[in-house]
Amino acid sequence: MVKSQICIKFPGEDALLSWLKPDYQEVIALAAKMSDRLGHNVVGTEHLLLGLILQQTSIAAQALKSVGVTLEKTLTEVEKITNLNTNHRNFESSFTPNAKEVIAKTLVFYRDINKSLDQFIGSESILLAILGKQEIIVQPTNYTNYTAVKILQNLEINFLELTTQILQLYMKEPDSDENSSAI
């Protein structure tokens, strides 16, 4: 499978895929492209972070920008942590276990909590899952093992400020449809 054509597949979850906002799907595609560009064999949380930054118009991208996260700074940090995923050829998918866990958290959050609210899953859910902000609802995880978290820590990003920015931007975003909103 070519990573730039990654399809998010979780057994029995096909119905959830229709609830992904275009920005969510674009982040996954951009993450795969960055992984390819960097010569990595799999998509890790660092690539998801890069995809979030590259998407530019989403709540997640705006929040990252507002706290000073740039593509250049993030790429520098990714390069400092080089070869983390380049030798991982034993994975059963094109995602590292941590990246797959982040994506799974966003899908489980939708399935278990928000399905009845008719909400779509936006890319901000990926960033919140990386930051560990959905742990109250989803199974707790040691999210500090995520490469993306280490990069944000190296950039001295205040996670509380970033989360606040996400929530503020989310509250300001007009619904694209009367019956739906991003989560």
Amino acid 33: pLDDT: 93
Cβ pair 183, 128 in contact under 8 A: no
- What rounded mean pLDDT belongs to the chain? 76
C-beta separation of 110 from 168 below 8 A: no
Strand partners, 20: 121
Q: In the prediction, which pLDDT does 140 show? A: 45
Q: So what's the pLDDT on residue 175?
A: 54
Give 79-94 pLDDT, tens digit per residue: 888 655 455 444 445 8
Residue in 98, 124, 105 with CA at minimum distance from that of residue 16 = 105
Is 84 part of a structural domain of the chain?
yes
Lowest model confidence (mean pLDDT) among 21-35, 117-131, 135-149, 164-178: 135-149
CA distance 74 to 52: 11
- What pLDDT score was predicted for residue 12? 45
Amino acid 27: pLDDT: 93
Whether 30 and 50 have beta carbons less than 8 Å apart is answered as: yes
pLDDT classification of 62: cutoffs 50, 70, 90: very high
Does any domain span residue 182?
no
> Would you say residue 151 lies in a domain?
yes
Mean pLDDT value of segment 135-150: 63
Q: Is 178 domain-assigned?
A: no
Tell me, yes or no, whether 177 lies in a domain.
no
Q: Is the separation of the CB atoms in 60 and 123 below 8 Å?
A: yes
In a domain, 132, yes or no: yes
Total domains, the chain: 1
Structural domain range at position 72? 3-172
181 domain-assigned: no
In a domain, 114, yes or no: yes
CATH number of the domain at 66, please. 1.10.1780.10
Higher pLDDT, 94 or 60: 60
**Taking Cα atoms as reference points, which of 91, 90, 166, 94 lies closest to residue 128?**
166
Query: Which distant-in-sequence residues (6+ apart) come within 8 Å of 82 by Cβ?
Result: none
